[in-house]
Amino acid sequence: MSLTSYVLRRLFYVIPVILGVCFLIFIIFSVVSPDPTISMLGKHATKAQVLELREALGLNKPLYIQYFDIVKSAFTFDFGRSWSTKQEIFEMIKQGAIPSMTITFPAFFLSVLLSVSISLFVAFYRGTFLDKGVVFVCVALMSISSLVYILVGQWFFAFKLGLFEISGYEEGFPDVVPYVLLPIIIIIILSVGPDVRFYRTVMLDEIYQDYVRTARSKGLSERKIMFKHVLKNAMVSIITYVVLRIPFLILGSLLIESFFGIPGLGGMTLKAVNSSDFPVIKAMAVLSGIATILFNVITDVLYVVVDPRVKLN
């Protein structure tokens, strides 16, 4: 099967999966969840007020129409208007996407580069004090709450030392740098610990394979084995781990954006949750589902690029 045929076939299979995701979102928000008009109007609202608001919000539509609206939004990206701000949700998403990606994508690429490099280094010196020390530091970094990094970073590095802006956001380069540099550093610190542990485990699994022993018997240097053979064969697991994290980057970071006052998708989603703004929450759920499905397809295609032994079926 050619690569083009395989991609088209996988994209065709995406359609029923999206319908299933929309059905789950419909069940959660339209069937299981309590009536949002009660929280919006308060417990002392009259029945007439509740009915009027339900009609205004479209909550009195038949259930199959509400499900069809979610499916329609998944394919047209027309998510309607926010209940709290009255803005078009798709316009809100477009406005919040750039601030979110300004911090998540640089942090993501730098953390991947740093983590893979450290993992190669400790795998090369496996079993030594250096290897054990790096693993200990990774576990220690993972054991500290993200709130600690945020609050200490804002208080000490931003407030006391004045190296960064405490909160806020400015559009355009280089004005944006002082506002996003500290959030990027914090995301990298939060990512390096689990990433290094995962990549190190993958590389150690490859090191003890038969092909590595064969390469050593042929007289290849350990450095050449690590970069030419181990890293190459570990790329399938690394790609799976890396690519499937990208959808979460697009959605932004809830805590980071909220504490640093960055007007991204993470902060927008958190505000929607606090105000019971169901259309915004549903829109973000639909987008995250679609992004996860599509990046699964991309991951499968990249397997063939990295490892020609993988067959397309």
Tens of pLDDT, residues 27-45: 888 777 777 777 676 667 7
Domain-embedded: residue 49: yes
Residues of the domain holding 131: 89-276
- Band of residue 6 on the pLDDT scale cut at 50, 70, 90: confident
Longest dimension (CA), the chain: 84
Return the pLDDT at 112. Answer: 92
**Mean pLDDT score, 130-145:** 89
Which residue, chain included where needed, has tokens 């129409």? 65
Return the pLDDT at 308. Answer: 62
My answer on whether 175 and 197 are in the same domain is yes
* Token pair listed for 123: 């795998």
- Band of residue 247 on the pLDDT scale cut at 50, 70, 90: confident
Domain-embedded: residue 227: yes
* Token pair listed for 154: 């804002």
CA atoms within 13 A on the CB side of 219: 0
Pick the residue with more confidence: 222 or 192? 192
Return the pLDDT at 278. Answer: 85
My answer on whether 101 and 233 are in the same domain is yes
Distances (CA, A) of 3 to 6, 196, 239, 243: 5, 32, 18, 19
Instruction: Indicate the average pLDDT of the chain.
Output: 84
Residue 47 scores a pLDDT above 80: no
What is the distance between the terminal CA atoms of the chain, rounded to a whole angstrom?
7
My answer on whether 17 and 129 are in the same domain is no
- 164, 170, 176, 180: CA torsion to nearest 10: 50
My answer on whether 135 and 39 are in the same domain is no
Domain-embedded: residue 313: no
Number of domains in the chain: 2
Closest CA relative to residue 265, chosen from 276, 280, 275, 278: 280
My answer on whether 209 and 231 are in the same domain is yes
Domain-embedded: residue 163: yes
Return the pLDDT at 251. Answer: 67
Domain-embedded: residue 70: yes
My answer on whether 109 and 179 are in the same domain is yes
Alpha carbon distance 138, 201 (integer Å): 13
Pick the residue with more confidence: 37 or 295? 295
Q: In degrees rounded to 5, what are phi and psi of residue 208?
A: -95, 15
Q: DSSP letter for 308, please.
A: T
Q: Among 21, 46, 76, give the residue marking a domain's end.
A: 76
Domain-embedded: residue 8: yes
Return the pLDDT at 184. Answer: 93
Q: Among 52, 76, 100, give the residue marking a domain's end.
A: 76
How many residues in the chain?
Answer: 313
Return the pLDDT at 54. Answer: 77
**CATH code, domain carrying 244:** 1.10.3720.10
- In the 3-class helix/strand/coil scheme, how is 126-193 assigned residue by residue? CCCHHHHHHHHHHHHHHHCCHHHHHHHHHHHHHHHCCCCCCCCCCCCCCCCHHHHHHHHHHHHHHHHH
My answer on whether 15 and 129 are in the same domain is no
My answer on whether 246 and 126 are in the same domain is yes
Residue 111 scores a pLDDT above 90: yes
Residue 245 scores a pLDDT above 90: no
Which residue, chain included where needed, has tokens 């090369």? 124
Residue 185 scores a pLDDT above 90: yes
My answer on whether 46 and 110 are in the same domain is no
The rounded percent of the chain whose pLDDT value lies above 70 is: 94
Q: Among 76, 107, 136, give the residue marking a domain's end.
A: 76
Residue 13 scores a pLDDT above 70: yes
Exposure pattern of 33-54 as b/e (b: 16+ CB <10 Å)? eeebbeebeeeeeeeeebeebe
Which residue, chain included where needed, has tokens 């450095």? 223
My answer on whether 69 and 100 are in the same domain is no
Alpha carbon distance 152, 204 (integer Å): 35
Q: Is the peptide bond before 174 cis (omega within 30 degrees of 0)?
A: yes
My answer on whether 55 and 118 are in the same domain is no
Contact 268, 256 (CB under 8 A): no
Domain-embedded: residue 287: no
**Mean pLDDT score, 45-60:** 76
Domain-embedded: residue 46: yes
My answer on whether 56 and 153 are in the same domain is no
- Look at the alpha carbons of 229, 230, 233, 235 in this order and tell me if their dihedral is positive or negative: negative
Q: In degrees rounded to 5, what are phi and psi of residue 218?
A: -85, -5
